[in-house]
A and B are shown apart, each in its own frame.
Chain A
Amino acid sequence: MSRSMTFARRYQQHLFAVLLSLSLLTGCGPATVVVEGRFPPPLIEPLPLKLGVWYGPDFAQHEFFDESTTRGQSSWVVKTGQAQILMWNSLLAGVFDEVVHLKSAPVPGQSIPGVDGILVPHVSQLQYTIPKHTQVKVYEIWMLYRFELLTPDAQPVAEWDMSSYGKTPTAFLQSDQEAVNLAAVMALRDAGANFATTFTRIAPIQAWLQAQNVPAPGSSP
């Protein structure tokens, strides 16, 4: 009886120590946001082109880590990779007649048969602000993309930068994580809107479209 009670007490002590350590460890960890959202297909006349797309590991597993500089603030990890893939798959499938997802990175000189061009997106920068940083009651995410458009044998056609922005006011949501997620979803939607409405207006792209016998559409109101 007394042995079993001692065992139970020891078990409780161990359990308490483990739980305390876990809570301390998780309490010190960074605030993590895995961006989740739903992205509608674009309502746009698709370009009569078959596009190859390569999402590099830097893009497909994109995450942003911001280490806190003061004791009062927590570090942040914002993982956008999964949501980037969802959004760009949905968008590109609407902007182009057909999209082919490449299984490996395009290599110069090695032609990908059947595609008119290859698009390689990158996230160059991601910045965020939360009300604790700025004293403004808005959460913001700003992203800078870099796109490469290549020929089927991976020769460069165009390279350009594109920014996107999303925000959500403090009043809408309960936690920092929820608000950063919504701001990121807004930034992704904005990236899609920016791409869909400006792609055909980029000078080297216009020349490439002419070479593909695609008439320049009036894509923006």
Chain B
Amino acid sequence: MKYSLLTTLTLTTACLLSGCVTSTVDEMIYNEPVEGIGESSVVILGRRHSSNYETEPDFVLCVGEHITSYDNSITVIGELEFINALYPWFEPRTAPLHPEGLEQLVLQEPVARKIADLKLEYIIWLDGSTERSGGSGSMACSLGGCFGFGTWAHDANYEATIWDFSDRAAVGHISTSASGQSYMPAVIVPIPIIAPVQGTACDGVGDQLLEFLSSEY
């Protein structure tokens, strides 16, 4: 009884201090490498085709760092480094939308050489964004400080698609959604309690990709 009360109290405090986030992750993997990706490298790219949102570069960076922080034997090529090295073939106008497009791409000799130099084995496309939805409360600030309460929600929805460069085929899909409520009570000083929605989505996708790419997970 005492233990469960303590657990509830700890969880409530943790939840209040960081904001609450709920998340789900779904995965569908067809052809996982048996012993990890070895010496090969992987690039994680954000999709930038939609007219009203773009996959955030810092989310792409976060997923890459999540993978390398748990298994530093995996080489993750930086997004900007890759699209600059292969300019103009991975710009929003020219980036292949289907894995079959890779076949046409490697017909370009300089492209084939560069990809061989990079030892690229997998391209992982991340598509989605984190949006702020709703908000309520009010706050008034004067010289004496701020008083009031504000709350708002964030929703993150991302899908990762794994392309096998050697087979020119999609070998897995991972989707994650996370939502959380952030709060800002103010008694003289406003105290923001931010729900780490994007970070939770990053961890969710990163964990699944790590399982796919690493021989140790």
Which A residues have a C-beta under 8 Å from some C-beta of B?
A: 40-45, 136-138, 167-169, 171-172, 186, 189-190, 192-194, 196-197, 218-221
Can you name the residue of chain B whose Cβ is closest to the Cβ of A193?
A: B88
Known contacts A45-B108, A138-B52, A193-B91; A40 and B96 CB within 8 A of each other:
no
CB distance A136 to B85 under 8 Å? no
14 further interface pairs, Cβ-Cβ under 8 Å (given A43-B87, A136-B52, A167-B51):
A40-B85, A40-B87, A42-B87, A43-B86, A44-B110, A45-B108, A169-B54, A172-B54, A172-B56, A190-B91, A193-B94, A221-B89, A221-B94, A221-B104
CB distance B87 to A197 under 8 Å? no
Pick the residue among B57, B87, B101, B109 that contacts A221 (CB under 8 A).
B101
Tell me the bound Cα distance from A85 to B93 in angstroms.
21
* 8 A-B residue pairings within 8 Å (CB atoms): A43-B89, A43-B114, A45-B108, A169-B54, A172-B56, A189-B91, A193-B87, A193-B88
B51 surroundings in chain A (CB, below 8 A): 138, 167
CB distance A197 to B111 under 8 Å? no
A192 surroundings in chain B (CB, below 8 A): 87-88
CB distance B93 to A193 under 8 Å? yes
A220 surroundings in chain B (CB, below 8 A): 94
CB distance B88 to A189 under 8 Å? yes
CB distance B53 to A169 under 8 Å? yes
Number of A-B residue pairs, CB cutoff 8 Å, is 66
CB distance B91 to A221 under 8 Å? no
Chain B residues touching A, majority SS: loop
Known contacts A171-B56, A172-B56; A45 and B107 CB within 8 A of each other:
no
Which B residues have a C-beta under 8 Å from some C-beta of A?
A: 51-54, 56-57, 84-89, 91-94, 96, 101, 104-105, 107-111, 114, 129
CB distance B109 to A42 under 8 Å? no
CB distance A137 to B94 under 8 Å? no
Determine how close the nearest CB of chain B comes to the CB of A2; give it in whole angstroms. Answer: 37
Tell me the bound Cα distance from A15 to B93 in angstroms.
53
B105 surroundings in chain A (CB, below 8 A): 221
B111 surroundings in chain A (CB, below 8 A): 43
Can you name the residue of chain A whose Cβ is closest to the Cβ of B92?
A: A190
Tell me the bound Cα distance from A196 to B110 in angstroms.
14
Known contacts A138-B52, A172-B56, A190-B93; A218 and B88 CB within 8 A of each other:
no
A221 surroundings in chain B (CB, below 8 A): 89, 94, 96, 101, 104-105, 107-108
Can you name the residue of chain B whose Cβ is closest to the Cβ of A218?
A: B107
Can you name the residue of chain B whose Cβ is closest to the Cβ of A190?
A: B93
Can you name the residue of chain A whose Cβ is closest to the Cβ of B96?
A: A221
